[in-house]
Amino acid sequence: VLLGIFFNVHSAVLIEDVPFTEEDFKDGPERIYGLYEQVSYNCFIAAGLYALLGGFSLCQSRLNKRKEYMVR
């Protein structure tokens, strides 16, 4: 999530992480900003997937705990 925010803000420190090619440098920085934003969306997607995974594993662990109680 944090990485997504930083990419969205067009942080200059992360310039080397944005996959650009030679032709992206023409016509001003808008293309670069667009690339930044795409990478930030990817980051948000990954964060969302992680949240899903985390929630899923939490549910599973709680269910297993209850099952143990019932067996006893």
Structure tokens at 46: 């990954």
51 contributes a contact to other proteins by CB under 8 A? no
> At closest approach, how far in Å is the CB of 37 from other proteins?
10
Nearer Cβ to other proteins, position 8 or 14?
A: 14
Backbone angle region of 27, left / alpha / beta, with phi > 0 → left and psi within -120 to 50 → alpha = left
Residues 21-40 contacting other proteins, CB under 8 A:
35, 38-39
Q: Which of 1, 2, 36, 30 is nearest to 16 (CA)?
A: 36
Give residues with Cβ within 8 angstroms of 19, minimum separation 6.
Answer: 35, 39
> At closest approach, how far in Å is the CB of 24 from other proteins?
11
Q: Site residues (CB under 8 A) for other proteins? A: 11-19, 35, 38-39, 41-46, 49-50, 53
